[in-house]
Structure formats: C-alpha cells, structure tokens
Amino acid sequence: MVAEVLAALERRPVRTHLVVLSDFDGTLTTFNVDPSRSHLRNETRQALESLSSREDVTVGLVSGRRLEDLDQRTSLPPEVYLAGLHGLEIRHGSDAWHHPDLLESGDVVDGLVEEMTAAVGQVSGVRLEHKGVALTVHVRGVTPDSRQAVLDEADLVAQPWIERGVLKALEANAALEFLPNIPWTKGDAVQWIVDDVEARLGRPTWCVFFGDDVTDEDAFEATSTDLSVVVGRRPSVARLRLDSPADVAAVLAGVDESGR
C-alpha cells in the first residue's frame, strides 16, 4: 500500500507544486482515549518538517481541533498551513484567516456543555472536549455496546441548539461533534489552501490529502484534491488506502527521499 501511494505521487504532472495536506488524529497519530495526549511521533514530525523546507512542496494540516491546540501538539514550522475547526480558522506564517461567520463566543456552547455534562458526562469513558465555540463528545473509552446509546443521547441533548440553527452535528470516529452551523467543511479548507498556494506561487499545484475520518470525505471529494488516501479499513471514496499512521509517515519520508 505504501508503494502504491508513492507510485501515484511519482506520476504527478511535472512542473506542478506538490501540496501535501493531512488530517491529524487517526492519520498522523494514533487515537488516544484521552485526546489531550495525542502528539506527533518524532519520525512523522521530521518528515513533515523536511518536506515543508523544500521549495517545491507545501505542507498543511486540516483538523477538527482548534488551531492553537493543533499548533501546540505538532510544533511544526510556520510555513506549514494549519487549519482548525474543520478549516473555519487557518494560519500560515504570520497570516491568519477565519470564516467571517465564526464568532469567538462561548455563550452558545457553554450552555450545551452544561446540559451534556449532566446527561452523559458521568458515563464511564465519556470525554467532553470543549473547544470554545464547539463541543466534541468522545466515546472511544466507553464499552463498545454502550457507545451508540451515548451518542444518541448526546444528539438528543443538542437538538434545541440544532433546531435553532446555531449548531450542527458531525459524526466522527467514535465521537459526535457540535460545531457552529456554518456551511464550511474540510473540503472547503483544502480548496482555500490550494488557492492560496497557487496565488502566492503563481504556478499550478497537485494536491494529496490523507485522512481517516468520515469528516475527511469532503476533503477527498474536493475538486482541488488530485490524490485522496484514506487511513484504515472503513468504506471511503478515497482513491488509495493505507493501514495506519505509521504507513503515512513512511509515505511522507519516501516522498522526501525521492525528491518528487
């Protein structure tokens, strides 16, 4: 599988600028029951740093995490694009952008967190990740036969916010995310980054996106994504597949070694 992805990268059109974009959790790093403990392995960070230092490659991460959280967990150079909240906030070097409809107010989500804590927060293994303007209910630590019931209850709790149109729900890997109800996905973030790279460099790009989650399907289907690679065994529209974050690290290192 690693060889197949490397071969596809080798076949990209000549004179194109390579854009390497990836999800974080489950793609560059293995899942942790406690999301606060997820960090890049040294070999993965080194591969990303080396690629980002090349003039013919641009690197970026597109994650559901907040941008500041993603930055702290990766410690990557400033030339790496970082997109948080599924791309609602993006940073590259000293330039920062956020969706014009994204308001930095926790008032909406604070109320949801309070009710969610009372409803499912005491269930063994549940972790509530408060992101200021968003909330993720993680059930990876819940016994498998109880996970769906917890997610169903979480969805029920959030219905008043969803019906008012202030939040939307996104299914994720062993999680349910509640985000600002803004029509923006990881696919839009990929397009934004690719457009920005082409505008800065004045040359055509060729983009590969690595992801594991159902929320990455929008990135796989983005018109700017030339090669899509899913990590894991779930069904996906992605063209190619890798087994694990270790395979992703091997591909990144292989691309750097080949110089293509």
Provide the pLDDT for residue 106: 72
Give the bridge partners for 208, in sequence order. Answer: 20, 227
Provide the pLDDT for residue 38: 85
User: What six digits make up the tokens of 82?
Assistant: 């970082």
Residue 1 burial by Cβ neighbours in a 10 Å radius (0-12, 13-18, 19+): middle
Provide the pLDDT for residue 260: 60
Structural domains in the chain, CATH included, are 2-100+184-258 (3.40.50.1000), 107-180 (3.30.70.1020)
Q: What is the pLDDT of residues 194-230, one digit of tens each?
A: 999 999 999 999 999 999 999 999 999 998 999 999 9
Q: Which segments of the chain have a pLDDT < 50?
A: none
**Please, are residues 40 and 28 in contact by the beta-carbon 8 Å criterion?**
yes
SS3 138: strand
Reading phi first (left if > 0) and then psi (alpha if -120 to 50, else beta), residue 154 is in alpha
User: What six digits make up the tokens of 107?
Assistant: 């008032």
Task: Specify the pTM.
Answer: 0.94
Provide the pLDDT for residue 256: 72
Task: State the chain's maximal CA–CA distance in angstroms.
Answer: 57
Q: What is the pLDDT of residues 93-124, one digit of tens each?
A: 999 999 999 987 678 899 999 999 999 999 99
